[in-house]
Amino acid sequence: MGKFGFRLRVPRLILLVLSAFLLNWAMAVNPFFEPTVRIQKERDHKVIASGPYNFVRHPGYLAGLSYIFSVPLIIGSIFSLIPAGIYMILVIARTSLKDRTLNRELTGYAEYSKKVRYRLFPWVW
């Protein structure tokens, strides 16, 4: 691999590192962060609106998408973008369902979603 290949790999690695940073930041500021979609009534579940939650409502999913797309780019496999694309479709669907659940069941989430307009992609959706 020449210098050109190395220069292309650096931005891909930066994407990987940023995805890990975003995921850890989201988990650090949100004590209710978990892989399931449920209201944690036993823990007095509240809306978290600080840290990365100021920009998107689901930064953990954004971090997961960034990670899942960084790996095929790092290894240079065009075919591995196919499962990454399928994963992206599933995450978008899950994000929509999670938003619906949180709007319906979590006090204050409707107001929060009006303040933080973007579910997953800043300035897009």
- pLDDT of 6 > 60? The answer is no
CB under 8 Å to 71, separation ≥6 — which residues? 16, 80, 84
Indicate the domain borders of the chain: 3-115
CB under 8 Å to 22, separation ≥6 — which residues? 52, 59, 62, 63, 66
Q: What is the CA radius of gyration of the chain?
A: 16
> What is the pLDDT averaged over residues 52-74?
93
| 120: number of Cβ within 10 Å | 20
pLDDT score at 7: 60
Altogether, the residues listed in the chain come to a count of 125
Q: pLDDT of 100-124, one tens digit each?
A: 999 999 999 999 999 999 998 776 7
How far is Cα 76 from Cα 6, in angstroms, rounded to an integer? Answer: 12
- pLDDT of 5 > 80? The answer is no
Q: pLDDT of 33-43, one tens digit each?
A: 998 888 999 99
Q: pLDDT of 76-88, one tens digit each?
A: 888 989 999 999 9
